[in-house]
């Protein structure tokens, strides 16, 4: 033990703004109808799961943004979850600091946390519009303009959130990785407005792998802007079988590996040799895999 003061920084914190109360005011007017339809659908789905947690349809889990909500809601009422686990998830949902920067600062002070890196996905039953928890890029068939709008809605809210305590928060912006030119434009825009990292989607079959030369402008922009690319676990593809019996276990066995595939794609693609100041961060990954992989 030591009496020396330590600087404690959380590299994996989350926020959970509510769809209707917090995020809707940041939606462009032309997309409000789409936003409200999505919110209505999620409300109906949440009610269905809470009313019959044993009747969850595997097809709901296979569509990513719906599956995110189903899994969160089911944990609150599922018959095979212990009372302690249900209480824990209920307590998480009640944390005011997921939405209120003043409450978050008070919690951080109480725990001795000086600063934190903030991702979406607060596990409080709230989702980002159109994409789900926000760790991944949402469903493959999402209209491109809605993916861009989802990113902007959250980034607007997050920029305001971190501005309350800018020295204590590093906000990870959402980016529409399917459109590299727009991604670069959004990176520049939100970097100027106080967001200092990128929630970097883990590889998926629906867009080119990260050793593909098409990403060269993105690497250059991230290097120039000093924006770390942060890949969070569960931000990659949905594991095969996740919507079938035992699917939660399948997810926990595979989601970490699926979330870190960018590392070897970028190393073997020579990305870090061409862009030596580029930073890739793998979040919530543990360390046991590192010696084998390297």
Q: What pLDDT shows up at residue 18?
A: 94
pLDDT in tens, 68-89: 666 666 666 666 667 887 788 7
pLDDT score for 74: 61
What integer pLDDT is reported at residue 158 of this predicted model?
98
β-bridge mates for residue 230, sequence order:
199, 281
Give the pLDDT band of residue 108 (cuts 50, 70, 90): very high
Q: What is the mean pLDDT of residues 210-214?
A: 98
Average pLDDT over residues 87-103: 90
pLDDT in tens, 6-27: 899 999 999 999 999 999 999 9
Average pLDDT over residues 84-101: 87
| Residue pair 77/53 in contact by the 8 Å Cβ criterion | yes
CB–CB of 156/184 below 8 Å?
no
pLDDT value at residue 16: 94
Instruction: Give the whole-angstrom CA distance, residue 15 versus residue 99.
Output: 6
**Which SS3 state, helix, strand or coil, does residue 16 take?**
coil
Q: What is the mean pLDDT of residues 49-64?
A: 61
For the chain, state the CA radius of gyration. 19
3-state secondary structure (DSSP) of residue 128:
strand
pLDDT at 249: 81
Taking Cα atoms as reference points, which of 47, 58, 55, 45 lies closest to residue 78? 55
pLDDT digits (tens, 9 = 90+) for 110-124: 999 999 999 999 988
pLDDT of 61 strictly over 80:
no
Q: Is residue 101 scored above 60 in pLDDT?
A: yes
Instruction: Note the Cα 117 to chain centre separation in Å.
Output: 12
Q: Strand order in 169-173's β-sheet?
A: 9-14, 115-119, 169-173, 197-199, 229-232, 280-283
């Amino acid at each position: 033990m030591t009496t020396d003061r330590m600087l404690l920084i959380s590299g994996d914190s989350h926020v959970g703004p509510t769809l209707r109360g917090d995020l809707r005011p940041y939606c462009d007017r032309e997309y409000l109808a789409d936003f409200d339809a999505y919110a209505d659908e999620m409300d109906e789905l949440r009610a269905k799961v809470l009313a019959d947690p044993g009747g969850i349809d595997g097809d709901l889990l296979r569509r990513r943004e719906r599956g995110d909500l189903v899994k969160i809601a089911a944990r609150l009422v599922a018959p095979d979850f212990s009372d302690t686990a249900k209480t824990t998830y209920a307590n998480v949902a009640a944390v005011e600091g997921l939405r209120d920067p003043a409450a978050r600062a008070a919690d951080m002070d109480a725990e001795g946390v000086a600063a934190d890196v903030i991702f979406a996905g607060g596990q409080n039953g709230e989702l980002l519009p159109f994409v789900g928890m926000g760790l991944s890029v949402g469903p493959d068939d999402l209209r491109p303009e809605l993916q861009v709008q989802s990113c902007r809605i959250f980034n607007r809210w997050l920029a305001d959130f971190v501005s309350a305590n800018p020295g204590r928060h590093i906000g990870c912006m959402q980016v529409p990785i399917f459109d590299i030119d727009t991604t670069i434009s959004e990176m520049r825009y939100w970097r100027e407005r106080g967001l200092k990292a990128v929630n970097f989607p883990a590889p998926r079959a629906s867009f080119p792998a990260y050793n593909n030369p098409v990403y060269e402008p993105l690497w250059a922009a991230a290097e120039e802007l000093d924006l770390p690319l942060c890949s969070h676990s569960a931000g990659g593809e949905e594991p095969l079988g996740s919507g079938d019996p035992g699917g939660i276990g399948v997810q926990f066995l595979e989601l970490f590996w699926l979330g870190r595939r960018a590392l070897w794609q970028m190393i073997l693609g020579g990305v870090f040799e061409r862009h030596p100041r580029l930073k890739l961060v793998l979040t919530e990954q543990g360390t046991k895999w590192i010696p084998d992989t390297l």
